[in-house]
Amino acid sequence: MLLGMAYYPEHWPTERWACDADLMQSAGVHFVRMGEFAWHKMQPAEDHFDFDWLEKAIKLFASRGIKTVLGTPTAAYPPWLHAKYSDLHQMRSDGTVKEFGQRQDVCKNHPGYRNAARNITEELSRKFREHPDVIAWQIDNELGSRGTARCFCPYCQEAFRKWLGKKFAGDINALNQAWGTVFWSQTYNSFDEISIPRDTTDMHHVEGQNPGLGLNFLEFSSRTQVDFLEEHRGLIKKYNPHTPVTHNFLVHFLAKRFTIDYYKLAENLDMVSWDNYPYFELRGRDAAPSPMNCDLMRGLKKKNYWVMEQAAGPCGWNTFAPTPEPGRMRLWSYQVIAKGGDAVCFFRWRSCLFGTEQYCHGILPHHGKPDRRYDELSRFGSEIRKISPELDGSIVHNNIAFLFDYPAYWSFEIQPHISRSEYGYYQLIQRGNTLLASSGIGSDIISYDDNFDAYAILVASSVHLCNKNLAEKFEDYVRRGGTLILGPRSGVKNTENTIIPEIPPGFFRRLTGCSVAEYDSFEMKDEPTVGLSDSQGNRFSGYAIAEVLEQDDDTEVLLRYASNYYAGKPAAVMHRFGNGCCIYIGTIPDDSCLTGLSKKIPDPGIIEYYKNLPPGVEWVSRRKEDQIFRFYLNHNSREVVLTLIKGGRELLSRTDAEHEIRIPPLGLAIVKEKK
């Protein structure tokens, strides 16, 4: 376990560096992350590089036993580059330009920027090649943040046309056929006629455009970011073949939407790291942060991750979030450790006195003197040293996985089906993931390309885009004994975002044992929802959408609609297939209904859960060979008393814990269970 700190030596007088290094050493900090926004400091002019100050900072921290994660500075380009290339700004979908002054606001298809970015990364990589005090490299910073993964400028239009030409092997007729461009007289004679989907008269870029065009543009935009990262990874590895390379990923609420395929972005990185700011999405101070952020990041490479920016104080730009009360910063850090974190790096060391992020409060306040957050950091650092020998090498292993597919997510972005509703692809996965976590059931987030056989249960909120090969992969999984739970609008479209001319759920028809006769929708959040009932007469609610199902003779009906003109018709069914089963749910049930449905799932005997886990308490496990470490995390502002599933040794207090344990407000326990 490693403890890190985001540090910006360029923000402070050099005579202050030693003081900061001494304080970090005392608190138990293992590494600093630096350099990721210092392009001008490293290259004050096009023909002049200066790394002496950075080398001095690395050496000073190393003298205190503190290593460095070195960032490439390409996220924020210097004014001299802006002056040289007046057209390197990104363009919005309405044709307006994103002017200089932010970060990630440059077009990554601009040849002048790409050349300058290559130069600074290569010079930096060469200067610090295999440096003994650099333990990892970070490429850029938060690619795609604040909607910057998509650019609509002429450079991108030219690159998009070339990308489509390569994808369709130069055959424009194949593209026309795939997208159905005969609609609205949009048939193309050549790739040069294709325009980026900018805003139309009354719609926002991909909305209202040909769905095939929209999906391909979103995939192209993602690929642009992936190619940029791959280029810079290659430059770093050229000089540093033995040093790990990472990138700090964003989570949903920070990115605003997922604009980059993170599976592809993570594919060739040595490890995933990400930035964790829980207070931006919490509903109430005592709520536990969403487990999905950790599960998604862990699932990108099926490995433990690093958190490269962990919330310290209240954070914001023009406004700032509530201040985490004493103990919560430590507790949030343990949550990411419990769910697969091997390093926690706080953002930032000291609150900045200038610039946009003056209100991104760090461990030290603006005045630079240690206070209670520093004391909390020191406690956490001491504990990390204590528990690392036990936890190092342990991993998170779950038997349930949720499927998350970026093209499906983008397809719903283009055509969300139902306006102003709770029917959101990501939100449904997050809801299921959180509902399981409330019973202490851990789950992974995986892609269609992953090994399904590693899991007893797969949950797919909607396999909206599908082909025969994918459907056969699901069939093989269920036939061999797996349980698949499918949500509505599955098997509706092919991978070019056009409708499959089959009765839904299309290629899943044989697996689900049902067909969709028709479907209904409920547009407004506060509109009355459809009633549901199970075989025992229990009543529930469904919302957003209602698929009216027709089941085969060998298919069991789990839910029926209890209202509207399709009352009595099936709403959810279970179909045995080979040695496994598929559950198809044609609506969005309420939580109590989902809990009831979960009891219908054949018990594989390997799903662990904690019965009656109190609200605001997490029960999470890490494993090392046959040893289990249980984390009991109390996010409440009150003490809780918990019964232990199995006794053992509590690692923080170094005391025996046999039957029950008291967890103080915003506290935790880590129990090394008896084998």
Chain-centre distance for alpha carbon 413: 17
Separation of alpha carbons 386 and 394, rounded Å? 15
- CA dist 541 to 171, 538, 563, Å? 49, 10, 10
Task: State the number of CA atoms in the 13 A half-sphere of 615 facing the CB.
Answer: 6
Nearest alpha-carbon partner for 395 in 470, 331, 303, 320: 303
**Helical H segments across 240-346, by residue range:** 252-255, 262-266, 292-299, 328-338
Cβ-in-10-Å burial (0-12, 13-18, 19+) of 52 comes to: exposed
Separation of alpha carbons 355 and 336, rounded Å? 29
Q: Say if residues 443 and 298 touch (Cβ distance below 8 Å).
A: no
Active site residue 10: no
Query: Tell me, what amino acid is at 196?
Result: I
Given the residues 36, 219, 309, 650, the one annotated as active site: 309
Three-state secondary-structure class, residue 314: coil
Residues contacting residue 191 through CB under 8 Å, at least 6 positions apart: 161, 162, 164, 165, 170, 172, 175
Q: Say if residues 296 and 403 touch (Cβ distance below 8 Å).
A: no
Residues contacting residue 556 through CB under 8 Å, at least 6 positions apart: 573, 574, 575
User: First and final CA of the chain: distance in angstroms?
Assistant: 23
Given the residues 36, 142, 219, 383, the one annotated as active site: 142
Separation of alpha carbons 457 and 441, rounded Å? 12
- CA dist 274 to 75, 298, 376, 385, Å? 16, 10, 22, 22
**Helical H segments across 327-461, by residue range:** 328-338, 372-391, 406-414, 425-437
Active site residue 46: no
Separation of alpha carbons 232 and 121, rounded Å? 7
Nearest alpha-carbon partner for 64 in 20, 104, 107: 20
**Residue 365's CB: how many other CB atoms inside 10 A?**
15
Query: Tell me, what amino acid is at 635?
Result: H
Q: Say if residues 367 and 219 touch (Cβ distance below 8 Å).
A: no
Encoded tokens for 8: 């910006």
Q: Specify whether the backbone of 274 is left (phi greater than 0), alpha (psi in -120 to 50) or beta.
A: beta
Query: Tell me, what amino acid is at 573?
Result: V
141 secondary structure, DSSP code? S
State residue 305 phi and psi, 5-degree precision: -125, 175
**Residue 86's CB: how many other CB atoms inside 10 A?**
9
Q: Say if residues 657 and 674 touch (Cβ distance below 8 Å).
A: no
Query: Tell me, what amino acid is at 564?
Result: N
645 secondary structure, DSSP code? S
Q: Say if residues 433 and 252 touch (Cβ distance below 8 Å).
A: no
**Helical H segments across 146-250, by residue range:** 154-167, 172-179, 211-239
Cα torsion at 31, 308, 280, 407 (round to 10°)?
180
Q: Say if residues 417 and 521 touch (Cβ distance below 8 Å).
A: yes
Cite the active site residues.
142, 309
